[in-house]
Structure 1
Amino acid sequence: MAMGTRLCIRLRQEFKDLVELVLLPGTAIFLPWPLCFRLYRYLSRYSWLYGEQTAQALAAAQSIIPVADPARWCAAYRLIQLVDHGDLYLSLFRSDRWMCKYLSFTGSDWPKNTPFLAITFHWGTGLWSLRHLRSQGITAAFLSVRLDKKIFAHRRVAYYYARLRLREVERVGSAQVIYKGGSVPRLLATLRQGKSVVALIDVPPSEGGNCLPVQLFQRQAWWPSGLVRLAVNEAIPAVAFTVSLNHATGQRYLHVTGPLPSQDQHQLVEALAGCFSEAISRDSPAWHFWWLVQGFFK
Structure 2
Amino acid sequence: MGLLSRLRREFKDLLELVVLPGTAIFLPWPWCFRFYRYCSQQSWLYRALTEQSLAAARKIIPIDDPARWCATYRLTQLVDHGDLYLSRFRSDRWLRKYLDLTGANWPKHPSFLAITFHWGTGLWSLRHLRSHGIATAFLSARFDKSSFVKRRIAYYYSRLRTREVERAGLTKVIYKGGSVPRLLEAFRQGKAVAALIDVPPREVGTCLPVTLFQRRAWWPSGLIGLAVREHIPVVAFTVALDPETGRRCLHITAPLPAHDPQQLAEVLAGYFSEAMSRDSPAWHFWWLVEEFFKYEI
Give the TM-score category using the shorter length: over 0.9
> Is it true that 1:261 corresponds to 2:252 in the alignment?
no
The equivalent of 1:120 in structure 2 is: 116
1:292 aligns with 2:281: no
Conserved? CA contact 2:204–2:220, under 8 Å: no
Is 1:190–2:186 an aligned residue pair? yes
Q: Does 1:175 align with 2:175?
A: no
Select which of 129, 141, 150 maps to 1:145: 141
Residue 21 of structure 1: which of 17, 27, 45 is its match?
Answer: 17
Residue of 41, 62, 75 corresponding to 2:37: 41
Paired letter, 1:214: V
**What residue number does 1:212 align with?**
208
Going from structure 1 to structure 2, the CA distance change for 1:11 and 1:207 (only over 3 Å counts) comes to closer
**Against the structure 1 CA distance between its residues 194 and 208, is the aligned structure 2 distance closer, same or farther, given a 3 Å change threshold?**
closer
Match of 1:100 among 91, 96, 99: 96
> 1:284 and 1:133 mapped to 2: Cα distance?
26
Measured in 2, the distance between the counterparts of 1:32 and 1:49 equals 22
Amino acid in structure 1 at the alignment position of 2:152 = R
Post-superposition CA distance 1:138-157 (Å, at most 9, x none): 01000001112112011000
Q: Distance in 2 between matches of 1:285 and 1:79?
A: 9
Give the Cα–Cα distance (whole angstroms) in 1 for the partners of residues 14 and 256 of structure 2.
41
> What amino acid sits opposite 2:165 in the alignment?
V
Partners in 2 of 1:158 and 1:208 — Cα distance? 23
Q: Which amino acid aligns with 1:60?
A: A
Amino acid at match of 2:272: F
SS at the partner of 1:206? helix
**Structure 1: gaps (5+ residues):** none
1:174-206 superposed Cα distances (whole Å, 9 cap, x missing partner)? 000000001011100110010110000001112
Aligned partner (choices 223, 229, 241) of residue 227 of structure 1: 223
Q: 2:4 aligns with which of 8, 11, 14?
A: 8
Cα shift readout 1:187-246 (whole Å, capped 9, x = no counterpart): 001100101100000011127821101010011111110111011111100000000000
Question: Which amino acid is 2:147 matched to?
Answer: I
Aligned partner (choices 66, 86, 92) of residue 82 of structure 2: 86
Rounded to whole Å, the distance in 1 between the matches of 2:13 and 2:228 is: 41
**What are the superposed Cα offsets for residues 113-149 of structure 1, whole Å, 9 maximum, x if unpaired?**
3300000000000000000000011010000011121
What does residue 276 of structure 2 align with?
280
**CA spacing shift, 1:132–1:208, aligned 2, 3 Å:** closer
Q: Which amino acid aligns with 1:98?
A: W
State the match for 1:50 in structure 2.
Answer: 46
- Tell me the TM-score normalised to structure 2 length: 0.97
| Matched position secondary structure for 2:2 | helix
CA distance, structure 1, for counterparts of residue 96 and residue 66 of structure 2: 34
For 1:77, give the aligned amino acid: Y
Q: How many pairs are equivalent?
A: 294
Deviations 1:48-103 (A, max 9, x none): 00000000110111011001100000000000011000000001110000111011
Greater CA drift, 136-145 or 207-216: 207-216
Change (3 A) 1:110 1:207: closer
TM-score by length of 1: 0.97
Give the aligned partner of residue 126 of structure 2. Answer: 130
Runs of 4+ in structure 1 over 4 Å off: none
In the aligned structure 2, how far is the partner of 1:287 from the partner of 1:113? 30
